Structure 1
């Protein structure tokens, strides 16, 4: 499947143990990022990963394949084995509540597989630093529930919150 075909997917549904979260994919503003996410999802890359970083009233983060192991100290450091460039243009939306964006290594062009969903009303300090590629359209209450999980001193949930599947669709 070509990158153009992958970028044409319109929705993703995270099937989690807490419930489903459906988001619209923003292929118009971030086609390479959407294509990468769709490719990883269709290859079951995200199946079994956990939400490894949770900060109430800010965001929940997932997408690290290392979160599948029994060592929480390495969570947040894994990826697909390559990095993607950031995608910012006139169509790039602001990072506000319900937006889905790529996590990075606090450096430009270090996107991979990790992403986060914003629970804060606005996060202007992140605009231009993290590529937004989705907008939650259903299940924001599940994201809010995840964001209120009990965490340890490293913002890691005390109880694993697992993504069972990611379903990519055109409608």
Structure 2
């Protein structure tokens, strides 16, 4: 069974299944950051009604920080891919992980999707919760340059 993450917010708690079986690289990155306390005290820094809610920037521990939305994990840090392979991924100098463009779970309401800058391999710790059908963000949609893989 896939792990379930519990998100404790000022608006209440919600849970999400993390798709470790389909997205081991991205999911293991998220799990590692959870286990190390990276997300503790971080606020949602980007909320767009009828679109998505974004979270995961360490600068957003201060919700008024002008840098909220610009940060990620420390560069050069590593985590184990939790698929039994024993593989370790080292985040690049900017704290980013390789794009995992394998599973075609769409950006549907309630899914967790990796945020990035729009360039390849720029996801790190920030993710968003889709609150609408955002299929234009699907990595396999050739009509858009967006590539946001769903991992939960």
Question: Do the two structures share a fold, i.e. TM-score over 0.5?
Answer: yes
What is the count of residue pairs matched by the alignment?
A: 125
Q: Does 1:16 align with 2:19?
A: no
**Greater relative CO (CA pairs within 8 A, separation 6+):** 1
Gapped runs of 5+ residues in structure 2? 75-94, 140-146
Q: Does 1:84 align with 2:102?
A: no
Equivalent residue number for residue 143 of structure 1: none
Structure 1: 4+ residue segments shifted above 3 A: none
Equivalent residue number for residue 107 of structure 1: 119
Distance 1:70 1:130, change over 3 A: closer
CA–CA separation in structure 2 for the residues paired with 1:70 and 1:20: 19
Q: Indicate if the aligned counterparts of 2:20 and 2:151 stay in contact, CA closer than 8 A.
A: yes
**SS class of match (1:108):** coil
Q: Indicate if the aligned counterparts of 1:9 and 1:38 stay in contact, CA closer than 8 A.
A: no
Q: Within 5 Å, which residues of 2 pair with 1:23-102?
A: 23-69=16-62, 71-81=64-74, 82-89=95-102, 91-102=103-114
Equivalent residue number for residue 116 of structure 1: 128
CA–CA separation in structure 2 for the residues paired with 1:9 and 1:40: 17
Equivalent residue number for residue 131 of structure 1: 149
CA–CA separation in structure 2 for the residues paired with 1:32 and 1:9: 14
What TM-score results when the alignment is normalised by the length of structure 2? Answer: 0.78
CA–CA separation in structure 2 for the residues paired with 1:78 and 1:113: 8
Q: Indicate if the aligned counterparts of 2:2 and 2:21 stay in contact, CA closer than 8 A.
A: no
CA–CA separation in structure 1 for the residues paired with 2:121 and 2:63: 29
1:69 CA displacement: 3.0
1:9 CA displacement: 5.2
CA–CA separation in structure 1 for the residues paired with 2:135 and 2:66: 29
Gapped runs of 5+ residues in structure 1? 1-7, 135-171
What TM-score results when the alignment is normalised by the length of structure 1? Answer: 0.69
